[in-house]
Amino acid sequence: MVEVGLGDRLGVLFPGQGAQVVGMGRGVFDASIASRGVFEEADDALAALGAGVSVSKLCFEGPESQLQLTAFTQPAVLTVSVAVWRALQEWRAGGDLPPFVPVAMAGHSLGEYSALVCAGSLGLSDAVKLVHQRGKFMQEAVPVGEGAMVAVVGLEANVVVEICARVDGPVSPANFNAPTQTVVAGAKGLVEQVVGLVHGAGGKALALPVSAPFHCPLMEPAAHRLAPLLDGVDFQDPTVPVVSNVDAALVTTADQARDALKRQVTQPVRWVEGMAHMVSQGVNRMVEVGPGNVLTRLMRRIDRGVPCVAVSGPEAFTNV
């Protein structure tokens, strides 16, 4: 349990793809009027695109096979994350507690959209439509089976960067998740070469069950298709600074927010640097909002001096 103190300076984190699980969000939907409004708006947004899927039904009932499809995973995780945040703030207001006012927010990959919605920079309906299309474009950028991603553990990030540089072709770090956990993405055969070099350097490489190699240059076709959609959506200056994935720096304007989302499709998630930047801004306590606790576990590996607690439903509200 992480209790609020007078000196607390809060950072809020939002998970990305991989956090999804059938049943997520049901607790806050049942407990919170604000949360139900989020799910209803998300359902309407996908319906307007003719997606043929209800976000709420997919989150609560599955099927898991459909929830795992990138084009549906992304709006589902986004919706649950925003629903939990709004339910948490609603719960605090009902208990005569002041609302949380974070020093900064950050989201891992897809989670950057959740952060921008909760920071007031991007409308929920627009975000749901964007991430559905984003997932679709990313899936279609590389034929199934031609790309791969592996999590390299036990080696420092600079070693992994050097190993990728030794392989001739499109393979590169995709996520700098923790000091000794770096995800590599690229063409399948080249990723297999990286795995061999990792083992030779004393590290381990774990294949990730993904349908495409995200956050690498092979995603360029997806970036080109997504850019005009981002240009067609209204962004506002965020009310809370958001740490971008691509620069590990604070986004404070609408133009910066849009530009960061364009570039993150093909560039790596600099999560370790982003968390360090939040701490440099005075953040001394973090809350992960949304399904799962992946970011909470990563934070323990990045900086144990900054407590982090995961909140995925109303049962955890009293923990923060």
Catalytic residues, by residue number, are 109, 215
Spatial CB neighbours of 65, under 8 Å, sequence gap ≥ 6: none
3-state DSSP assignment of residue 211 = coil
Strand partners, 243: 106, 250
> Could you give the CA distance from residue 30 to residue 60 in angstroms, rounded to a whole number?
11
Spatial CB neighbours of 274, under 8 Å, sequence gap ≥ 6: 106, 243, 244, 245, 248
> Could you give the CA distance from residue 172 to residue 174 in angstroms, rounded to a whole number?
6
Helix axes 124-141, 70-94, angle to 10 degrees: 150
Query: How far is C-alpha 111 from the geometric centre of its chain's CA atoms?
Result: 3
Spatial CB neighbours of 2, under 8 Å, sequence gap ≥ 6: 285, 287, 307, 308, 309, 319, 320
228 cis-preceded (ω within 30 degrees of 0)? no
CB 178 within 8 A of CB 302: yes
CB 136 within 8 A of CB 166: no
Number of H helices, E strands in the chain: 13, 10
